[in-house]
Structure 1
Amino acid sequence: MSAASADGRATRWAGQHQRRRAEFVDAALAAIAEHGPEVSTEQIAEKAGVARTRLYKHFTDAADLQRAISQRARELITIELAPVWNPQGTPMQMITTAIDTHLRWLTEHTPLYRYLIQNSPAEHEEYTDIPTAIGEHLTELFTGYLLAFDLDPAPAETTAFGIVGYVHSASTRWLDRHGPYTRDDLVAQLTAVIWTILDHTLRTGGVTLDPHRRLPPPHELPAPGK
């Protein structure tokens, strides 16, 4: 066999291997949705239509499969949270859309969410990276607005990560208990609290915004003093 033929065969095998891994991860997501966060490897293999031993021809062990599931979940969450990455509209619309998107994902993918948080962060940092990524994105966004308003950007990071932590904690508690609130109720409550925090930060610097008036991106705002 020539070197070229061997290389071509290796490339085809690598591509097939990756395709099969992706198919098994999709099957795992379906199995989690059906059986819940305590899903077993056997149930995942059954959903994929293969024997458990066949599954491990494409994953080194259970941890490797879990990492692949987490990575795929991260991709799905990132797509779902598009309104967080690209906020538009009035301040209240931006906040409401971001919170509603977050809660909708949690309620529609509760078994997957619980599967991810029940595993150790060391093995599933792909998921724990999501709140960090949101916090960093909001830090950059808040910094841009504070600078545009000629204010000290120092509060941006603590405000951003404080909001992310608050929303995560409150929504997780609601998901566990639901309590007296509907999802819309919780969205309204969280939106009001977050706006109060942001409004206080701005007013401390002498800036007052209308929460129901469109807020352009920071780079579209006039330079301070103009």
Structure 2
Amino acid sequence: MPSSAHPGSADGRAKRWAGQRDRRRREFVEAALRVIAERGPGVSTEQIAHAAGVARTQLYKHFTDAADVHGAIAERAMQLIHTDLAPLWNLHGTPMEMISSAVGSHTRWLSENQYLYRYLSMHALSAGNGPNRITDVKTTIGNHLTRLFEHYLALFSMDTRVAGPVAFGVVGLVDSCTAQWLADPRRIGRDEFVALLARWVWSILDDTLRAGGMELDAHAPLAAPDLKFPPSPE
């Protein structure tokens, strides 16, 4: 029947529009990431639209409002963060090598993407009860390190209950120290800074182990744990 063709045509148009809308949203988000890297965390939606080569009104044909724009940027940033911090999910070698790799990956990402990090922090504060992507990143890293510490503490027949506090304490130390380092115009070189942080982190872990009666050589290889990567952000 002729009338039956109309719903199918409408569905086809709707699917094409949805696909085009998703594609354009991705293009706008990539443009936003570029302009944030160039201009800093205080960019406006008007500047994002200009970077994408459209008027601000055109931007809002694909996003509900400014919060929707910020949310899409945050989602894409989370994907990039999980990819760039890949060394954190596969730590192996000596304790000091593992620590240096983890600290190096974290500080490198922050130093190369500090405008994006500050952008996410700014909009996390303004989002009210919305998702805090910076907290999500710290929690993901903290949970992964907790599992890592639990593995080795159990291997050494030690109390695994301290794994969580130690893991999240280490994450907080590295994150806050790196934020201060980035804000200091007189800051020391990154390699020296990473070496300092690695020593401080090892001091915390070494003290925890010694309190449980275990002395570990920071430079002796450890058997790599069989831990799965954290789930990718949706």
Report the alpha carbon displacement of residue 107 of structure 1 after superposing the two structures with TM. Answer: 1.5
RMSD: 1.6
Q: Which amino acid aligns with 1:62?
A: A
Comparing 75-84 and 179-188, the one that deviates more: 179-188
* 1:80 match: 84
- Separation in 2, partners of 1:127, 1:46: 27
- Separation in 2, partners of 1:178, 1:169: 16
The alpha-carbon distance between structure 1 residues 124 and 49, as it changes in their structure 2 partners (threshold 3 A), is: farther
Tell me, yes or no, if the aligned pair for 1:135 and 1:161 is still in contact at 8 Å: yes
Tell me, yes or no, if the aligned pair for 2:107 and 2:178 is still in contact at 8 Å: yes
Instruction: Write the deviation string for residues 34-69 of structure 1: whole angstroms up to 9, x where unpaired.
Output: 111111111111110111000011111111100111
- The runs of 5 or more residues in structure 2 that have no matched partner are 228-234
The alpha-carbon distance between structure 1 residues 110 and 218, as it changes in their structure 2 partners (threshold 3 A), is: closer
| Equivalent in 30, 39, 44 of residue 43 of structure 2 | 39
* Counterpart check, 1:130 vs 2:137: yes
Specify the SS of the correspondent of 2:33.
helix
- Separation in 2, partners of 1:219, 1:113: 31
* 1:192 match: 199
- Separation in 2, partners of 1:204, 1:137: 23
| Equivalent in 164, 177, 181 of residue 188 of structure 2 | 181
TM-score (norm 1): 0.92
Tell me, yes or no, if the aligned pair for 1:100 and 1:187 is still in contact at 8 Å: yes
- Separation in 2, partners of 1:148, 1:7: 58
- Separation in 2, partners of 1:129, 1:180: 28
- The runs of 5 or more residues in structure 1 that have no matched partner are 221-226
Q: Which amino acid aligns with 2:75?
A: Q
Report the alpha carbon displacement of residue 218 of structure 1 after superposing the two structures with TM. Answer: 3.8
- Separation in 1, partners of 2:187, 2:9: 66
TM-score (norm 2): 0.89
- Separation in 2, partners of 1:5, 1:151: 66
Report the alpha carbon displacement of residue 178 of structure 1 after superposing the two structures with TM. Answer: 4.5
Q: Percent identity?
A: 54
Aligned pairs, number: 220
